[in-house]
Amino acid sequence: MVRAAEQALGKFVRRFETDDARRGKVAVVSTLIGLAGVGLSAPVLVAVFTRGETAYTIAGLLLGFSLVGLWWGFSCGRRYLMTPGEVFRVRVGGLAYEHAGRFRVIPWDRIRSVSERGQRHWVGEMLGWDVYSVVKIKGGDGHKGGRLLITGFTSDADVLVALIRHALEHGTAPLPPGSDAPHGAR
């Protein structure tokens, strides 16, 4: 069902869904790897600091790897629990964002910036880091500010980010070729 606030943004351009199952699996696997790494790094750290071993680099790398695994696992787990059913719908005049029964309409002029911190390599793609964009939303004038996070867990996330960037530069999102969808369709 399309809400009136979303219809006011104009013609439908494209829908992007987040793969919650994949995000949940990555959360569990990353957390388990992080916990195992912390378990393995503890004896190495004890040996380094109590016996004067010189393997500081190995101990540091092992602990760092473990902590990154824990951080990403907890981060994905939190988003898995807090934003189930996350969907982005691009319309000519703005973005409709929905998750867990919450709904938000963001006209293009309310978006302040889009930053990209993706890691385009095989590890990044596997962990959903290939796209990691933060959309900052202007507050004030009775509007809620904040931010949206778009990751590689969202289908065609790079296309979504490109559409948002295009809309910020031109004030409108492009319609797909041959699109004659009536106002408010979908």
Domain that holds residue 117: 4-18+85-170
Residue 56 within a domain: yes
Higher-confidence residue: 62 or 156?
156
Contacts for 100 with CB less than 8 Å, ≥ 6 apart: 82, 83, 84, 85
Q: Both 73 and 100 in a single domain? A: no
Q: Both 94 and 166 in a single domain? A: yes
Q: What is the CB neighbour count within 10 angstroms for residue 157?
A: 21
What is the per-residue pLDDT across 121-155, written as a single tens digit (0 to 9) for each?
Answer: 888 888 898 999 999 999 876 667 899 999 999 99
Q: Are 51 and 43 in contact (CB under 8 A)?
A: no
Q: Both 74 and 113 in a single domain? A: no
Indicate the number of domains in the chain. 2
Residue 181 within a domain: no
Higher-confidence residue: 78 or 49?
78
Q: Both 93 and 160 in a single domain? A: yes
Q: Both 14 and 102 in a single domain? A: yes
Which pLDDT score, from 0 to 100, does residue 14 have?
Answer: 95
Give the end of a domain, one of 66, 82, 98.
Answer: 82
Q: Both 55 and 91 in a single domain? A: no
pTM for this entry: 0.83
Residue 54 within a domain: yes
Residue 183 within a domain: no
